[in-house]
Amino acid sequence: MAGRISALTGARIVCDTLAPRIQRGAGRVVVERIPYLAEDIVQFLDGVEQLILVGAKPPVTFFAYPGKTSWPTPEGCKITVLSHAHEDGTAALDALADALNAPPTPANVAVFNTPALPKSDNLDARAVMEVIAHYLPEGAIVADEAITSGLPYFRYTATAAPHDYLNLSGGAIGGMVPVGTGAAVACPDRKVVCLEGDGSAMYTLQSLWTQARERLDVTTVIYANRSYAILHIELARVGVDHPGLTARSLFDLQNPTLDWVKLAEGMGVEAARAETTERFADLFAFAMKTRGPRLIEAVV
Ligand SMILES: Cc1ncc(C[n+]2csc(CCOP(=O)(O)OP(=O)(O)O)c2C)c(N)n1
Ligand SMILES: [Mg+2]
């Protein structure tokens, strides 16, 4: 419905940085996602004259930073509420599209186009997402808590096979291992792919045991960057340019290094480690073709 309105009016369709559920991939209307960082949101919304809210609130930044705005909507932008969160936003959009006599064919429908497999054997977060977009099966459910490893590469899956994308709905971490588990219980015929930062996954890794016990079809990818990487970024952004050893070590997940293969196997989930792109692609492709809980530790 929003795509129909956009076809008539040229309106952009935008969702929150943390929108809990989006239908994405080939055949679906592309929804732009509001960036995470304050200055990026300001740039993203630059020139917007009217913000029409459908079940959303006006954007604010995730954190308040010294010297940076928390209210990124341009000054003078008119904010209109089409429907509140407790109202039926779909019905509201439907009624609006009809009232405008919008064309039946929506604008900005994604055309199937997956990235080629990465050429370099150097495994990094971008290569991981390229492989995922390449092999993601139709109807998959992606639960994303990849944090710094996921946010910059969101667009890679925009034109992948059609899938549902589930995201954190707020700032507390560790939510997506259980969300992926619940999704697999709810939709036993669909492949669930859980993208997890190594720090976030540590909060709720016991969900893996539930996945093994219920034989759920979940593939968990752990982005093992051995760090609470985003907190290094946030620390710099509040003005700490030269953090001491102690401060830095608090954001480390080294010493000892977490062994995700053993952690998963200890809870009955088959697991393997990938340190190269080729190895990750092999493991992920196999996991997409085979049912059952599986974990891949991607050392990025
Ligand atoms: C319950 C809770 N505790 C702590 C935090 C603070 N926090 C936000 S992100 C983060 C680390 C995320 O690390 P990881 O999942 O490894 O992703 P990375 O930053 O490395 O990409 C922490 C500890 C939080 N948001 N919620
Ligand atoms: Mg991490």
The ligand minimizing its distance to the Cα of 36 is 1
SS3 content of the chain, % helix, strand, coil (to 5): 35, 20, 45
Region 239-248 average pLDDT:
90
Which residue CA neighbors atom 17 of ligand 1 most closely? 197
Provide the pLDDT for residue 238. Answer: 87
Region 24-36 average pLDDT:
95
Which residue CA neighbors atom 26 of ligand 1 most closely? 172
Region 146-172 average pLDDT:
94
Q: Which atom of ligand 1 is nearest to the CA of 149?
A: 21
Dihedrals phi, psi of 143, to nearest 5 degrees: -110, 115
Region 210-230 average pLDDT:
97
Provide the pLDDT for residue 115. Answer: 85
Provide the pLDDT for residue 35. Answer: 93
pLDDT band per the 50, 70, 90 thresholds, residue 170? confident
Mode of pairing for the β-strands spanning 140-145 and 163-167? parallel
**230, 232, 250: residue to mutate for ligand 1 pocket, most atoms within 8 A of CB:** 230
How far, in Å, from the CA of 48 to the mean position of ligand 2?
A: 35
Mode of pairing for the β-strands spanning 218-224 and 192-197? parallel
How far, in Å, from the CA of 172 to the mean position of ligand 1?
A: 8
The answer to whether residue 53 scores a pLDDT higher than 90 is yes
Dihedrals phi, psi of 263, to nearest 5 degrees: -60, -45
Taking Cα atoms as reference points, which of 257, 196, 187, 241 lies closest to residue 216? 187
Distances (CA, A) of 162 to 77, 138, 207: 34, 5, 26
Query: Residue 14's CB: how many other CB atoms inside 10 A?
Result: 18
Q: What is the pLDDT of residues 259-281, one digit of tens each?
A: 999 999 999 999 999 999 999 99
How far, in Å, from the CA of 250 to the mean position of ligand 2?
A: 12
Instruction: Please report the sign of the dihedral spanned by the C-alpha atoms of residue 238, residue 243, residue 247, residue 251.
Output: positive
**149, 177, 228, 233: residue to mutate for ligand 1 pocket, most atoms within 8 A of CB:** 228
Distance CA(179)–CA(198), nearest Å, equals 16
Contacts of 91 (CB under 8 A, 6+ apart): none
Instruction: Please report the sign of the dihedral spanned by the C-alpha atoms of residue 17, residue 22, residue 23, residue 28.
Output: negative
Provide the pLDDT for residue 158. Answer: 95
Instruction: Please report the sign of the dihedral spanned by the C-alpha atoms of residue 156, residue 145, residue 181, residue 208.
Output: positive
Region 83-96 average pLDDT:
97
The answer to whether residue 64 scores a pLDDT higher than 90 is no
DSSP E strands in the chain: the ranges are 14-15, 21-24, 32-33, 50-54, 78-83, 140-145, 163-167, 192-197, 218-224, 270-274, 294-299
The answer to whether residue 57 scores a pLDDT higher than 90 is yes
The answer to whether residue 55 scores a pLDDT higher than 90 is yes
Provide the pLDDT for residue 72. Answer: 95
Distance CA(40)–CA(77), nearest Å, equals 17
Region 11-30 average pLDDT:
95
Around ligand 1, the residues with Cβ closer than 6 Å are 147-149, 171-173, 197-200, 225, 227-231
Could you tell me the two tokens for 122? 């150097």
